[in-house]
């Protein structure tokens, strides 16, 4: 019976190992590392089953541009396609049609190692590994200096918490960070991503577990750091993206509004509805004055 069960398990493992990945890696052309000066989405459509019919599309005719130093916030209801959009940038999925272009190069023509080396992602569900807090922060840069680790921890608003622990940065983290709160895990994940200094920073609702005051301090601390990045922020709260140079409002897989906070309050009904649901009618009227 043991041999029979092992044979079935081995076959399943073999099926996984022999599966051809759907993302085809490009060959290295010996070009310089990607800098992330400019990124553009050109008529991007996407569906998980690779269908080109409108009813199967998760994203439809997405067009926008962003340059170094800009923060692009993406807001919309659950299921609007916000996370799917940013997952196209590191090629976790490939577009069904259209193109994503970075520095004039279609990302499908950029080797995955080169592309992803320049992209940092912080997800809502922060995954920490068994080991010390220091090990988790320095995961992407194992030779990081102590002062650099402390600097990004301060920016991520987690240094004070770590300093109060009996073993500080040597404190052991349980599997998946079970001995830490959601907000603490998110802030450690933010510090980990900031340490590698990515050219393109993607924060996918990564401050959802933070209170408003901590999030405000984090936004202020990030301002000086992200001036050399292209930053994407997916947010549920308008307060998280109110200072962004460009806010994209998504609804059912399309961009229904684009502009600054004030511009969208004046001309985007979907954004106005989101604002009212979070701040009330009086605040909307005040903003228009």
Q: What string of DSSP letters covers 60-109? A: EEEEEEEETT-EEEEEESTTSSHHHHHHTTTTSS--SEEEEEETTEEGGG
Residue 286: what pLDDT?
44
As a whole number, mean pLDDT of residues 13-31 equals 85
- From CA 179, how far away is CA 224, in angstroms rounded? 32
**How far is it, in rounded angstroms, from Cα 53 to Cα 97?**
11
Least confident of 18-27, 249-258, 274-283: 274-283
pLDDT of residue 54: 66
Predicted local distance difference test score (pLDDT) of residue 28: 77
Residue 283: which pLDDT band, with cuts at 50, 70 and 90? Answer: low
Mean pLDDT of the chain: 89
Does the pLDDT at position 35 exceed 80?
Answer: no
What average pLDDT does range 260-287 have in this prediction?
81
pLDDT in tens, 157-171: 999 999 999 999 999
Is the pLDDT reported for residue 74 higher than 90? yes
At residue 31, the pLDDT reads 62
pLDDT confidence tier of residue 272, bands split at 50, 70 and 90: very high
Residue 12 has pLDDT above 90, yes or no: yes
Indicate if the pLDDT at residue 192 is higher than 60.
yes
**Averaged over 254-283, what is the pLDDT?**
88
Residues 6+ apart with CB under 8 A from 12: none
Residue 119 pLDDT class (50, 70, 90 cuts): very high
pLDDT of residue 53: 72
pLDDT of residue 235: 87
Cβ burial 49-79 (10 Å sphere, 16+ → b, else e): eeeeeeeebbbbbbebebebebbbbbbbeee
pLDDT exceeds cutoff 60 at 212: yes
Mean pLDDT across the stretch 255-262?
94
In the predicted structure, residue 40 carries a pLDDT above the cut 50: yes
Tell me which of 49 and 167 has the higher pLDDT.
167
Looking at per-residue pLDDT, the higher value among 50 and 8 belongs to: 8
> For 128-154, what is the mean pLDDT?
93
Q: Which of 170-179, 182-191, 214-223 has the highest mean pLDDT?
A: 182-191
- Average pLDDT rounded to a whole number, residues 257-286: 84
Domains in the chain (CATH in brackets) are: 34-118+199-214+226-289 (3.40.50.300), 127-197 (3.40.50.300)
Under a CB-based contact definition with an 8 Å cutoff, are residues 172 and 134 in contact?
no
Residue 33: band (very low, low, confident or very high) from pLDDT cuts 50, 70, 90: low
What is the arithmetic mean of pLDDT over 230-237?
91
Give 59's contacts (C-beta < 8 A, 6+ positions apart): 44, 45, 46, 81, 84, 85, 88, 253, 254
């Amino acid at each position: 019976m043991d041999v029979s069960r092992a044979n079935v398990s081995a076959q399943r493992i073999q099926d996984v190992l022999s599966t051809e990945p759907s993302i085809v890696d490009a060959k290295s052309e010996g070009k310089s590392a990607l800098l992330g000066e400019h990124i553009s989405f050109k008529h991007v459509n996407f569906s998980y089953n690779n269908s080109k019919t409108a009813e199967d599309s998760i994203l439809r005719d997405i067009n926008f541009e962003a340059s170094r130093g800009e923060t692009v916030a993406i807001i919309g209801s659950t299921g609007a396609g916000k996370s799917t959009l940013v997952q196209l940038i590191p090629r976790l999925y490939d577009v069904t049609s259209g193109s994503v272009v970075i520095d004039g190069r279609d990302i499908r023509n950029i080797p995955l190692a080169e592309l992803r080396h320049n992209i940092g992602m912080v997800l809502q569900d922060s995954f920490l590994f068994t080991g010390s807090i220091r090990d988790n922060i320095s995961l992407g840069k194992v030779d990081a200096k102590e002062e650099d680790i402390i600097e990004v921890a301060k920016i991520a608003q987690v240094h004070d918490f770590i300093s109060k622990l009996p073993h500080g940065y040597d404190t052991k983290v349980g599997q998946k960070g079970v001995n830490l709160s959601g907000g603490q895990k998110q802030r450690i994940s933010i510090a980990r991503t900031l340490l590698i200094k990515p050219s393109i920073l993607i924060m996918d609702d990564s401050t959802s577990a933070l209170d408003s005051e901590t999030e405000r301090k984090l936004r202020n601390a990030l301002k000086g750091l992200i001036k050399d990045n292209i930053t994407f922020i997916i947010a549920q709260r308008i307060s998280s993206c109110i200072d962004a140079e460009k806010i994209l409002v998504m609804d059912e897989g399309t961009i229904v509004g684009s502009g600054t906070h004030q511009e969208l309050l004046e001309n985007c009904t979907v954004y106005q509805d989101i604002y009212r649901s979070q701040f009330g009618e009086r605040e909307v009227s005040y903003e228009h004055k």
